[in-house]
């Protein structure tokens, strides 16, 4: 049995139903045995527009003492990603203590 609880009914009983495509890769898809709804387990980056790799990189650069403008420029040059400065600050507030 899976450890992930269904976000709809709270049941711990779910089965694996393959994968779903996202903008940055594949994510596991599960189906609840009780309510029969499909869901994606929360990996800490649920409903984030950018990939976890980009978010981790931005938080790491911001933590090293770079300003949000410098981090924005570095992400654009290194990875070709256009991110707002406010997004970088919000990511740091949310994920800064975890990394």
C-alpha 46/C-alpha 24 separation (Å) is: 13
User: Given the structure tokens 């290194």, which residue do they identify?
Assistant: 78
φ, ψ dihedrals at 27, nearest 5°: -130, 150
From first to last of its 99 residues, what are the pLDDT tens digits of the chain? 447 899 999 999 999 999 988 877 888 899 999 999 999 988 888 888 898 999 999 999 999 999 999 999 999 999 899 999 999 999 999 998 865
pTM metric for this prediction: 0.75
Three-class SS state of 59: helix
Range 55-58, long-range pairs (CB < 8 A, 24+ positions) = 55/91, 55/95, 56/95, 56/99, 58/83, 58/87, 58/88, 58/91, 58/92
Domain 1-43 annotated CATH 2.50.20: no
């Amino acid at each position: 049995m899976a450890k992930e609880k269904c976000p709809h009914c709270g049941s711990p009983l779910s089965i694996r139903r393959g994968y779903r495509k996202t903008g940055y890769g594949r994510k596991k898809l599960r189906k609840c045995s009780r309510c029969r709804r499909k869901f994606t387990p929360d990996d800490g980056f649920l409903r984030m527009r950018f990939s976890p790799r980009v978010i981790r990189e931005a938080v790491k650069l911001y933590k090293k003492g770079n300003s949000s403008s410098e981090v924005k420029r570095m992400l654009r040059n290194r990875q070709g990603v256009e991110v707002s400065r406010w997004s970088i600050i919000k990511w740091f507030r949310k994920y800064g203590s975890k990394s």
